A and B are shown apart, each in its own frame.
Chain A
Amino acid sequence: KQEVTQIPAALSVPEGENLVLNCSFTDSAIYNLQWFRQDPGKGLTSLLLIQSSQREQTSGRLNASLDKSSGRSTLYIAASQPGDSATYLCAVTKGWDSGGSNYKLTFGKGTLLTVNP
């Protein structure tokens, strides 16, 4: 059974700092990995999608890396801003050969990020 772990559970940083959020998964047979942002009481906003054949993806101040063989991904946020404060969720989908619900996203519990002005 796939398990996704995110470290740290919470992080508080001053504005302007660069930071890294970590995600690990137990089964390396994934199809892709997706990073989301969730604001309190709201739905999820997709930030970055990394296919299993890719090593990294970038969008603006965000950069996500994937090391499939070691079961790890990182989300790097450059020059953090108070508006980046949210919970960041990492999720993976099963590999195609696994059968069953191949599209199912298995989520970590998230990292609660607070960026202080």
Chain B
Amino acid sequence: SAVISQKPSRDICQRGTSLTIQCQVDSQVTMMFWYRQQPGQSLTLIATANQGSEATYESGFVIDKFPISRPNLTFSTLTVSNMSPEDSSIYLCSVSDGYNEQFFGPGTRLTVL
């Protein structure tokens, strides 16, 4: 299984600012995903991070709010832009080699004041 790290592990941010979350994998993977887990809720997919092209966003999520980069097969970033308290969540990166098991990073706990 892949080993996934995320930075930062947690942060407290002010309303209106932006935060970039990094996801690093210890091996090359085909698929990388970003999920959000709001307090007391289950996980919701934000977007699929595509290497060499724009991310594919799920309904209800837009690039201006959640820009994503994927410069290579082991790294991706998610930016949460112009934050509001409603963005307070755990953000998780996951990876897959295709139609197989998905593995998750430890998550980034974001609190917006």
Contact = CB atoms under 8 A, between A and B. Distances in A.
Interface residues of B, number: 29
On chain A, which size bracket covers the interface? 20 to 34
B47 to A, nearest CB: 9
Interface in A41-61: 41-46, 49
B102 A108 contact: no
By DSSP majority rule, is chain B's interface helix, strand, loop, or mixed? strand
A61 B98 CA distance: 27
Contact of B41 (A41, A42, A105, A109): A109
A114 to B, nearest CB: 17
A105 B43 CA distance: 9
Interface string B89-112: 010101010111111111101000
Interface of B: 1, 4, 6, 31, 33, 35, 41-45, 48, 56, 58, 90, 92, 94, 96, 98-107, 109
